[in-house]
Structure 1
Amino acid sequence: MSETPSTEGLEALNNAWERGCTFLGTEYAILGGAMSWVSERNLVAAISNAGGFGVIACGAMTPDLLDAEIKATKELTTKPFGVNLITMHPELDTLVDICLENNVGHVVLAGGLPSKDTIARVKEGGAKIICFTPTLALGKKLVRSGVDALVIEGMEAGGHIGPVSTSVLAQEILPNITDVPIFVAGGIGRGEAIANYLRMGAAGVQLGTRFVCAEECVAHPDFKRAFIRASARDAITTVQVDPQFPVIPVRALGNEGSKKFIETQHEVIAKYRAGEMDMESAQLAIEHYWAGALRRAVIDGDVEHGSVMAGQSVGMVKKEQPTSEILQELVTQAADALVNPVGRKVDA
């Protein structure tokens, strides 16, 4: 395959994702998936500077930390970027205010159904709202409530996931919600997949796993090496040991940390049954396991006992590359796929 797309291919691609690019204010309708400890100022700015749309992962940040991160990102890029906020965060309203005070143009709300008040707060502040939907019905409800765009993310993705595959979600939702731009995520590692979802009606895509081995990503070298060595089947989902304690499945590379999570669930549930913890505290303790385990892997490089969250597209991550090179590869592959019929030979 050529290193740059043909004029014909690029024109086809620009037409295919024009709606997404206009919505994001970017050259390419490719969002960087928000990954805790990974999607910080350096990677976010690199994605935006290279033509994509970087997204800061707020996660459990305090308002002061988020304020500092947004300002630091603005020092590295003048291009548009967004902020991903977790709806369950106890200081969500303050975090929204921080985004608006810093003139963040797009706020991504994840981790639960946002309230009407939160949606109104963001929109009145002049920012656009992007939300995730795992079902067609919820997607329609979010659109009615004023959400400006949707992301549909399949179970192939890394981190916390739902039960349905990307391809099924795309078939179910893309033909039936056309009021707002929809971005497809989960299991996307090459441009040919991007082209296919654009053909189906997507406005663009979101990728996370593919950017972990970007040179600008601050993840520990051992974390990146784990990605480069891994195959798709190594990215497995966690096990829920007791239906009484619902745990959102997490996709990560199997290691001792995955086994420890199962042990942690058993330990916490035992304390609950012994009357040492109430239900809410027990469930929080199970969820909090991931926050520390992810940091150990990403920042400290403990890829054996930490949580190496990765999507199934990890098998397509072969080396560390500049962010701009990753995006250019995806764009070239997508553009060529849009103009080359199936079965036609493409330059190697």
Structure 2
Amino acid sequence: MMRTALTDLLGIDAPLVGFNRSPGVVAEVSRAGGLGVLAATAYTPEELDAQLTWIEEQVGGRPYGVDLLVPGKTAPGDPADLVASLRAQIPDEHVRFVDELLARYDIPAPARPRHESPELIANLDPSGVPALLDVVFAHPVALVANALGTPPPTLVDRAKAAGVLVASLVGKPEHARRQLEAGVDVLVAQGTEAGGHTGTVATMILTPEIVDAAGDVPVLAAGGIASGRQMAAALALGASGVWCGSVWLSSHEDITPDAVKRKFLTATSSDTLRSPARTGKPARQLRSAWHDEWERPGSPSPLPMPLQPMLISDAWSRIDEAAGNGHPGATALESFFIGQVVGGFAELAPAGEITRRIVDDCVARLQELRTLT
């Protein structure tokens, strides 16, 4: 058992937070003594309710959390008809580009027609957040995290009233100051090594900057942390714990398609890039032919969130399906959000085992460091 300000706040055994969209990963991290946090944006309110109920059945009273993607800036839509008003803003040029890209790689049509989900599109717009929050606060969550900006006052107020901690991800000290003014309880210093939406400052530089700005507020280090040695380094920088995301993509419980995981296992730490070509905002992901196509001269610029996800949603469903069947063109395009730690992936393992290994190796490294003084 390790004790820090984070473990005291949450009543967990180890200062490790595991962020993932897979309920199985979340449950296993919490069962192993950390705090599993579910990425909620990919779920409709009804699906989220079911997933949180399932997690609670698995963790036996241990704490867990939820992460919401609440972008500070998005393309404006009409709340009266959100989906139609947003889709009308997608230029024909972009639609043609995606259609031609899929044809160039000979991506087949889906086996079954895919129906657009208004709820999932709304999740990428601030107007869709209240419905998710209603579900979150109907469950005994221990922490709610907000990504992509300062959490809206409604989120903070409802969390405070429910006795739920609020965490926010930051990439610069000025971001941290705004989050502190908004009343967050935990800051996550996310370095550029991280997968998904991230800034340009490295974790080694960013973490102590955020620790200095945070005062008594606990700081978690994120980005480039997938081993006990890296966790020990984060604690040495003044962090009260670590926020790990990419490492769970090497777990059995993670729901990422096998075709993507196979690419992860052969990738190096140089095979990722920050690109807006998936979400409309810079996000680190595995480089593939998809990104090469968007970067070619004459290609259109990615659209702002949530227009870019709307534009490419069907395309990625087709790519995932075809890649799962071994289609060479889809395999070349296939990708997912992943940090630079992908270069250390050697094999898949259970999420609980990964959690315990990171914590045990961290403890061992800290004990070794004591011998240096």
Matched, 1:285 2:271: no
**Counterpart Cα distance in 2 of 1:68 and 1:74:** 10
**AA of the residue aligned to 2:135:** I
Q: Structure 1 residues 152 and 288 mapped into 2: Cα distance closer, same or farther (>3 Å)?
A: farther
1:55 — aligned with what?
37
Alignment of 1:61-100 (within 5 A): 61-78=43-60, 79-88=62-71, 89=123, 90-100=127-137
Deviation at 1:25, TM superposition (A): 2.3
Q: Structure 1 residues 134 and 67 mapped into 2: Cα distance closer, same or farther (>3 Å)?
A: same
Equivalent residues of 1:45, 1:54 under 8 A apart: yes
In the alignment, structure 1 segments of 5+ residues that lack a partner are 1-9, 241-245, 270-280
Alignment of 1:1-348 (within 5 A): 14-15=2-3, 18-34=4-20, 39-78=21-60, 79-88=62-71, 89=123, 90-238=127-275, 247-262=280-295, 266-267=299-300, 284-288=306-310, 301=324, 303-341=331-369
Task: Provide TM-score, normalisation by structure 2.
Answer: 0.75
**Counterpart Cα distance in 1 of 2:310 and 2:206:** 29
Deviation at 1:145, TM superposition (A): 2.3
**Counterpart Cα distance in 1 of 2:178 and 2:338:** 30
Deviation at 1:332, TM superposition (A): 2.3
Q: Structure 1 residues 341 and 117 mapped into 2: Cα distance closer, same or farther (>3 Å)?
A: closer
Cα deviations by residue, 1:48-70 (Å, 9 ceiling, x for unpaired):
11112111111242211211111
**Counterpart Cα distance in 2 of 1:341 and 1:291:** 48
Deviation at 1:173, TM superposition (A): 1.5
Task: Provide TM-score, normalisation by structure 1.
Answer: 0.80
Deviation at 1:116, TM superposition (A): 2.1
Q: Structure 1 residues 290 and 263 mapped into 2: Cα distance closer, same or farther (>3 Å)?
A: farther
**Counterpart Cα distance in 1 of 2:169 and 2:131:** 21
**Counterpart Cα distance in 2 of 1:131 and 1:298:** 31
Q: Structure 1 residues 49 and 306 mapped into 2: Cα distance closer, same or farther (>3 Å)?
A: same
Q: Structure 1 residues 230 and 263 mapped into 2: Cα distance closer, same or farther (>3 Å)?
A: same
1:274 — aligned with what?
none
**AA of the residue aligned to 1:80:** P
Q: Structure 1 residues 298 and 144 mapped into 2: Cα distance closer, same or farther (>3 Å)?
A: farther
Q: Structure 1 residues 203 and 96 mapped into 2: Cα distance closer, same or farther (>3 Å)?
A: same
Cα deviations by residue, 1:181-218 (Å, 9 ceiling, x for unpaired):
11110011221121121122111001111111112222
**Counterpart Cα distance in 1 of 2:31 and 2:298:** 42
**Counterpart Cα distance in 2 of 1:328 and 1:283:** 37
* Higher mean C-alpha displacement, 295-304 vs 249-258: 295-304
Task: Please state whether the residue corresponding to 1:251 is helix, strand or coil.
Answer: strand
**Counterpart Cα distance in 2 of 1:230 and 1:118:** 38
**Counterpart Cα distance in 2 of 1:110 and 1:294:** 23
**Counterpart Cα distance in 2 of 1:290 and 1:264:** 20
**AA of the residue aligned to 1:157:** A
**Counterpart Cα distance in 2 of 1:177 and 1:47:** 26
Cα deviations by residue, 1:287-339 (Å, 9 ceiling, x for unpaired):
44565566667786454323322100111111111122212221122112212
Deviation at 1:282, TM superposition (A): 6.4
1:272 — aligned with what?
none
Task: Please state whether the residue corresponding to 2:357 is helix, strand or coil.
Answer: helix
Cα deviations by residue, 1:1-39 (Å, 9 ceiling, x for unpaired):
xxxxxxxxx6xxx24xx21112232111111124xxxx2
